[in-house]
Chain A
Amino acid sequence: MWSIIKALIITFRHAFRQRVTIQYPEEKPYLAPRWRGRIILSRDPDGGERCVACYLCSAVCPVQCIALQATEDASGRRYPEFFRINFSRCIFCGECEEACPTCAIQLTPDFEMSEYERKNLVYEKEHLLISGCGKYPGYNFYRQAGLAIKGKGKGEGDQESPPVDVLSLLP
């Protein structure tokens, strides 16, 4: 009997508690910097595409939502001819980001990508490419730090830059 009354009182006291609901469209939720949301392709600090079309992201993708075609430019550098992510399949697991050797593909804290048509969820390269470096400012895959040899440390040579810890942001 007493426990029933206590239950009623406890429930009633909840009327004066803070509500946990976030009124979404008006009130945006906090997204962590490492939030795995919309996928982007980043550029290196010089403005070139980072992606070298190695197919690792496509291979590791558990739902096969990434499709790309490698090609080479005049200087023999590989880049993707097309790069397509089907977001209606993507499960935002972040495996592609972990697999990417050049830090080109990255997941961002953004989830507001609803569409009325399924077709519009297929993002092409021009939708994916952003103009900045994303999470790894200043990193360029084609810069090299070289090897430490006698009289010269890593990244101290003429055409060398200091080494980058490519694993710093991995979970």
Chain B
Amino acid sequence: MRMMIGQLSVIFGVLIAALTAAAFLIWLERRLLALWQDRYGPNRAGPFGLLQVPADMIKIFFKEDWIPPFADRQLFVAAPAIITITVLLSFAVVPFAPGIAVISPDLGLLFFLGMSSLAVYSVALAGISSNNKYSLIGALRALAQLLSYEVFMGLSLMGVVMLAGSFNLNKIVEAQRHLWFVIPQFPGFILFFIAGIAETHRLPFDLPEAESELSAGFHCEYSGMKFGMFFVGEYLSITLISAMTATFFFGGWQGPLLPPVIWFALKTFAFICLFILIRASLPRPRYDQLLAFAWKLLLPLALLNVLITAAIVLALER
């Protein structure tokens, strides 16, 4: 019984932490973007404008939730749920601190990769079921982009797996006790982070949305809380990718003095800020450039990284 209560508290703690983080990311992103653009951002509602988040939530809940008559109803409703569910499920394997994780499966890394692949469905189904040409183009782009970045996202993590000798996220963190994997696996880190940005379709890889050319791409027809779900899903996956970057390459919860959870939160926060900084400074590439970048440069690099890491690991073992 006591174990079940502990388990439940961890589950709800993770859920609440992830959703709160996602909600406040909206505020954080606006404030940080404003800071880097010499503005203030939302600073009126409450201290530092923090009450902007509840205000936005109230607003979005009371918006008309419109389903276009020409849309495929079931898929249209299901699509925004899929992204939130898959990303939240990925949070199950994130090791927040020693012993604090919803589950700690031996194939945690593969679970994370699989869930992030499933998120593709959300974007694709949203675009197709909207029955709108902009949405369709957005979905098409999303599919091509996510599939091509998915490939070397997995490959970029293989170096980490080889060094740690496990797919278990806890063991990967433990293996970084003496040396963060960012040092032996620097190319892997860069590749994973680029793939992560593409996976969350954030700027500069926000071609599926591309508000300046596709109005809003795949979620063009969405309004109210359904649109909100896409937004929450996007911010959740930013948090997830940041948490995963911290876990795989920056020693997860390991760090001196401060408690492990704080270290983990700090590292995640730093990567979230990096996400926003990249959004603030880089322009969106052309579509063919994006795909050529993935297939012609990043995929060979990822393969090379796997090869070299494997060779070195083998040579050291001998």
Cross-chain contact A7 with B281 (CB below 8 angstroms): yes
Q: Are A19 and B39 neighbours in the complex by a CB distance under 8 Å?
A: yes
Interface of B is mostly: helix
- Nearest CB of B to A67, in Å: 39
Q: Does B35 contact A (CB under 8 A)?
A: yes
The answer to whether B40 and A11 have CB atoms under 8 Å apart is no
Q: A21-B40, A23-B40 are in contact. Are A15 and B35 (CB under 8 A)?
A: yes
Q: When the two chains form their complex, are residues B35 and A14 in contact, meaning their CB atoms are under 8 A apart?
A: yes
What's the tally of chain A residues with a CB closer than 8 Å to chain B? 14
**Interface size of B in residues (CB-CB distance below 8 Å):** 11
Q: Determine the chain B residues whose CB is within 8 A of the CB of A168 once the complex forms.
A: none
Interface residue ranges of A7-23 to B (CB < 8 Å): 7-8, 10-12, 14-15, 17-21, 23
Contact call B277/A12, Cβ cutoff below 8 A: yes
Find chain B residues with CB under 8 A from A20 CB: 38-39
Give A23's nearest chain B residue, CB to CB: B40
A140 to chain B, nearest CB (A): 49
Is B36 part of the contact surface with A, judged by Cβ < 8 Å?
yes
Nearest chain B CB to A143 CB, angstrom units: 52
Q: Which residues of A contact B9 (CB under 8 A)?
A: none
**Residues of chain A within 8 A of B278, CB atoms compared:** 8
Chain A residues with CB under 8 A of B39 = 19-21
- Is B215 among interface residues, defined by CB-CB distance under 8 A? no
Which of A11, A18, A19, A23 is the one whose CB lies under 8 Å from B281?
A: A11
Question: Which residues of B262-279 have CB atoms within 8 Å of chain A's CB atoms?
Answer: 277-278
A59: shortest Cβ distance to chain B, in Å?
Answer: 44
B1-13 interface code vs A (CB 8 A; 1 in, 0 out): 0000000000000
Let me know if B277 and A14 touch, CB within 8 A. Answer: no
The answer to whether B37 has its CB under 8 Å from any CB of chain A is yes
A8 to B282, CA, bound (A): 8
Q: In whole angstroms, what is the CA distance A141 to B17 when docked?
A: 74
| A83 to B40 Cα, complex, angstroms | 43
**B276: nearest chain-A partner, CB-CB:** A11
Give me 14 other A-B pairs in contact (C-beta within 8 A), A4-B282, A19-B40 excluded. A8-B277, A8-B281, A8-B282, A10-B281, A11-B277, A11-B280, A12-B277, A14-B36, A14-B38, A15-B36, A17-B38, A19-B38, A20-B38, A21-B40
Closest A-B pairs by Cβ, 10 of them: A11-B281, A7-B281, A14-B36, A21-B40, A20-B38, A11-B36, A11-B280, A19-B38, A15-B35, A21-B39
Interface residues of A, Cβ cutoff 8 Å to B:
4, 7-8, 10-12, 14-15, 17-21, 23
